[in-house]
């Protein structure tokens, strides 16, 4: 199965570029580069064209992860282009659902719907106003979620022992 994944937060400089970088790093580590692509975007336009926040870059760099993209805002065409759109929090999800044509709304999920810690439906907290500790916590959370996302995409076993079909947009639980 191939998959085009879009990670979305508010400004596209902290959480979503981290998720994109972590996901692409895990894809490469598993030898799946030809099967998955990823991008990130923000619901707001404040940071269009800017690199990720230096704290996101630093927390990723400490772990050997590159953050490849520049900030951009979500486009209407993203809903058709991507197979799965992962919002970092409930506000981002609501904004995405408002922008999305009705036929693509089932592609929009919360990132933590894939959290192995069992915190499905919870928000990935925005570390922007915090210090390095918050960025480390967000990194660890996103690392868990990206790992479970790849397991789901690859048809791995779910936490409850069931089997996923490999369709992450369909297999993720419905978000509240």
Which residues are the active-site residues?
9, 15, 126
Rounded alpha-carbon distances, angstroms, from residue 49 to 65, 77, 88: 20, 18, 20
By the 8 A CB rule, do 14 and 53 touch? yes
99 Cβ neighbours under 8 A, 6+ residues apart? 43, 74, 76, 79
101 Cβ neighbours under 8 A, 6+ residues apart? 76, 79, 80
């Amino acid at each position: 199965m191939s998959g085009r994944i879009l990670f979305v937060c508010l400004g596209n400089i902290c959480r979503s570029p981290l998720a994109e970088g972590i996901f692409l790093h895990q894809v490469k580590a598993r030898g799946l580069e030809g099967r998955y692509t990823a991008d990130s975007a923000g619901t707001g336009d404040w940071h269009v064209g800017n690199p990720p926040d230096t704290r996101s870059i630093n927390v990723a760099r400490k772990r050997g992860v590159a953050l490849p993209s520049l900030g951009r805002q979500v486009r209407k065409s993203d809903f058709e282009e991507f197979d799965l759109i992962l919002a970092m929090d409930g506000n981002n999800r609501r904004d995405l659902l408002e922008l999305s044509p009705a036929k693509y709304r089932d592609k929009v999920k919360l990132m933590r719907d894939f959290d192995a810690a069992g915190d499905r439906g919870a928000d990935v907290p925005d570390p922007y106003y915090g210090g390095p500790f918050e960025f480390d916590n967000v990194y660890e959370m996103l690392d868990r979620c990206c790992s479970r996302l790849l397991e789901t995409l690859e048809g791995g076993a779910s936490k409850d022992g069931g089997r996923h079909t490999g369709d992450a947009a369909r297999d993720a639980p419905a978000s509240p």
